[in-house]
Structure 1
Amino acid sequence: MSNVSRPAPGVPNELQRRLGLPDAVVIGLGSMIGAGIFASLAPAARAAGSGLLLGLALAAVVAYCNATSSARLAALYPASGGTYVYGRERLGEFWGYLAGWAFVVGKTASCAAMALTVGSYIWPGQAHAVAVAAVVALAAVNYAGVQKSALLTRIIVAVVLTVLAVVTVASLTSGAVDTARLDIGTDATAGGVLQAAGLLFFAFAGYARIATLGEEVRDPARTIPRAIPIALGIALVVYTLVAVSVLLVLGQDGLAAAGAPLTEAARAAGADWLVPVVRVGAAVAALGSLLALILGVSRTTLAMARDHHLPHALAAVHPCFKVPHRAELIVGAVVAVAAATTDIRGAIGFSSFGVLAYYAIANASAWTLIPAEGRPARIIPVIGLTGCLVLAFALPLPSVLTGAAVLLVGATAYGTRRMLTDSTQRRHPR
């Protein structure tokens, strides 16, 4: 039996379980089938060369192990916070805190990057202003209730899947297809494949949103373990089809040099009419990712605030909308400021480092499960933990250094707070 702390039923800080299996799958898809597939293919191709598909396969294997570990833990601890809760309960308070810190900081950067992606596609000359407007609008949707967020995510996922399907079919049926371009791995290096996998992992990381919403999912012990692999499997099929079709018409060199790979693929396939459609699809995809990211970050903020690792006032739940309204407001404000003052360069690498650290702790937590708690096969968390660490440190050096520095800042803040708390307790024992 879990000893995870949760609000007692009926208290003001209780969230309501309103999401079923379709909602949970769609929220996971909305997080994964987003701007990542529009943005990560080109840098991954530059890193891996002809090993792009190998990098995609490696990212998928690590993502599968992470998803399996997360699903088993989420079924046991169906509370908001995801790996923040799992690490705290299985490994100790520090590791839970570090997971929450890595998630909140890394995903806040991702929110800003997604908002700026929306701005760059909708109105390139005013990208920052559009980004801030997008953050404000989606924060308002989240504030109005998680069911409204799930409904909007359904619409976004449908639009993006349609755009990706049209581009894929247009590419595969065009005269520009050359099967010799799928010459997999002939000039790839191990380091390049690993770096590409780390960059492509950015596009897979959204299934965590299902776990972080664990307190709002109906029958979480059954729903979450089913929703996570379904969402991941659909995303993998979509990504593979898109990557193969783009490679067939552009080749690895053309893909590596493309600023907007799907737009270039449409042009190469002779479907210029698709270019504005792809632009709209990319903007909508980024909106979907941003919506789900704000949901996940606000729920982890809620969980950390409940434990006083963040200001306890952020643990409040709106009496009518049943959402962590203060957490959503502060997350929206921070993301809006970041979107107004930063650019997206390096955001993918920085976010990937933080998320890989987050999942490393999830896999370490899953290792401690016993069979009665639904433990996965031992090899799953081993591969997941090893893969997360290897991919994290295979990322571009600036991303590694920045990510490590941010984790160190978080660990230092935790240690300082603990020393102050212990000192106070010694001076004023109960």
Structure 2
Amino acid sequence: MLGAGDATLIGAGAMIGAGVFAVFAPAAHRAGVWLPVAMLIAAVVAYCNATSSARLAARHAESGGTYVYGRERLGEVWGYLAGWSFVVGKVASCAVMALTFAAYVLPGYERAVAVSAVVVLTAVNYVGLRRSLAVTRVLLAGVLLALGAVVVAAWTGGGADPARLDLGADWPGFFGLFGAAGMVFFAFAGYARVSTLAGEVRDARVIPRAVTASLVGVLLVYLAVGVSALAVLGPRNLARSVAPVEDLALASAGPWLVWVVAVGAAMACLGALLSLVLGVSRTVLAMSADGHLPRALASIHPRFGVPHRAELAVGAVVVVLVLSVDLRGAIGFSAFGVLVYYAIANASALRLGPEENRPPLLVPIVGLVGCVVLALSLPTGSVLVGAAVLAVGAGVWLGRHWWSGRASAGLSGP
């Protein structure tokens, strides 16, 4: 069973992934020097989402996250849509993490390396949660050391100019600012991963502390890296960058630090991919147990105690996406799915009673409105594809219930 430290580790490991090494450039393209403000907006929405999720997880100590909360608080269809959004969005995230890892490790052979990474990490998750935690500790430590080295070099190498942080520069407009916040939100996604593992924590009361601790810690890391990148590269150069943290390292200390960043990026992607597969498989487990997905996926391994069939199914779908996905589209689609997921979480938190440790009313309201605004601020293509996939999920649910109703009517007929 997980303790507070292990739960915090899972949350941090799920957040610090490919996002911190890739998302600052497109976000700076939208927000310019206002990037730190966009990061704070994303963090506020993430905090509200995390608080709502943590309070709900304390009342529903079983695996499944918002799939369970929506089902219990809003009705079966909302729980189903939350689970559908989470699974499809996070499977896309898994593909992004795998491909980003491969791009740093062996450019030119991204898909083959990405498939290999998915297969290996699925096998690690298959043999048990404890071994996954041990790997996550090592990966997270390496990533934090690499990012810390870059930040220190940025402010001691003479290239940082605080004047580049002047908010009096070009105002991007609210759409640009919130659009950037929506992109940055992709880098925060994962803060409530521990909530999807609620059935495996030692004491449900550690969930709120673990979620908050991991979110605050990762926010500080992101602010340090993002502000350093703006101060050294400037908003225009940062917006044009393909690998912003590598460019920051090169401008601050030279090629030797670029190698450190490459290793750190690879470790970050592996750590996030490990946690993502872990969380998605638990939601698949919960949905399968309720009959929304094939019930065979709800099987628990007798020796390792994990949903082994769900793990293998998630890994197989990620491999298919790795072989066919467009990275930019996958990032936007993933962000849309996750924002829908947390919008339902906040709506569920509004249904908590005063005796259930309900968060202050402002928290789920800000979280719900924030999720909707950020989702609609994403690129139009991502919004349209995300809405279409959500509609397909709703259609599957309606079709299943229509068929069940007909079957029941036939059995009860004359």
The interval holding the TM-score normalised by the smaller chain is: over 0.9
Instruction: Give the Cα separation in 2 of the matches to 1:185 and 1:123.
Output: 41
Residue 203 (structure 1) aligned with residue 190 (structure 2): no
Residue in 2 that maps onto 1:335: 318
Residue 104 (structure 1) aligned with residue 87 (structure 2): yes
Residue 42 (structure 1) aligned with residue 25 (structure 2): yes
Instruction: Give the Cα separation in 2 of the matches to 1:138 and 1:74.
Output: 26
Describe how 1:16-415 pairs up with structure 2 within 5 A: 18-184=1-167, 186-187=169-170, 188-220=172-204, 222-415=205-398
One-letter amino acid matched to 1:198: G
Instruction: Give the Cα separation in 2 of the matches to 1:377 and 1:185.
Output: 34
Whether contact under 8 Å (1:51, 1:185) holds in the other structure is: no
Whether contact under 8 Å (1:116, 1:343) holds in the other structure is: no
Deviation at 1:270, TM superposition (A): 3.3
Instruction: Give the Cα separation in 1 of the matches to 2:400 and 2:169.
Output: 52
Q: Deviations over 1:296-334 (max 9, x none)?
A: 110000000000000001001001100000000111111
Instruction: Give the Cα separation in 2 of the matches to 1:145 and 1:330.
Output: 16
One-letter amino acid matched to 1:352: A
Whether contact under 8 Å (1:53, 1:184) holds in the other structure is: no
Whether contact under 8 Å (2:3, 2:202) holds in the other structure is: yes
Q: Deviations over 1:363-391 (max 9, x none)?
A: 00000101111100000000000000000
Instruction: Give the Cα separation in 1 of the matches to 2:245 and 2:328.
Output: 19
Whether contact under 8 Å (1:170, 1:271) holds in the other structure is: no
Instruction: Give the Cα separation in 1 of the matches to 2:90 and 2:168.
Output: 32
Cα 1:206–1:82 change in 2 (3 A) is same
Deviation at 1:348, TM superposition (A): 1.5
Instruction: Give the Cα separation in 1 of the matches to 2:379 and 2:240.
Output: 18
Deviation at 1:35, TM superposition (A): 1.2
TM-score, normalising length from structure 2? 0.98
TM-score, normalising length from structure 1? 0.95
One-letter amino acid matched to 2:158: G
One-letter amino acid matched to 2:400: R
Deviation at 1:415, TM superposition (A): 0.4
Instruction: Give the Cα separation in 2 of the matches to 1:93 and 1:313.
Output: 21
SS in 1 for 2:328: coil
Structure 2: gaps spanning 5 or more residues:
none
Cα 1:367–1:185 change in 2 (3 A) is farther
Cα 1:351–1:185 change in 2 (3 A) is farther
Off by >4 Å, runs of 4+ in structure 1? none
Aligned alpha-carbon RMSD (Å): 1.0
Residue in 2 that maps onto 1:9: none
Instruction: Give the Cα separation in 1 of the matches to 2:192 and 2:282.
Output: 11
One-letter amino acid matched to 2:203: D
Instruction: Give the Cα separation in 1 of the matches to 2:191 and 2:150.
Output: 24
Whether contact under 8 Å (1:63, 1:204) holds in the other structure is: yes
Deviation at 1:344, TM superposition (A): 1.2
Deviation at 1:429, TM superposition (A): 2.9
Deviation at 1:208, TM superposition (A): 2.4
Q: Deviations over 1:143-168 (max 9, x none)?
A: 00011111111111100000000000
Give % identity.
Answer: 59
Structure 1: gaps spanning 5 or more residues:
1-17
Aligned residues: 412
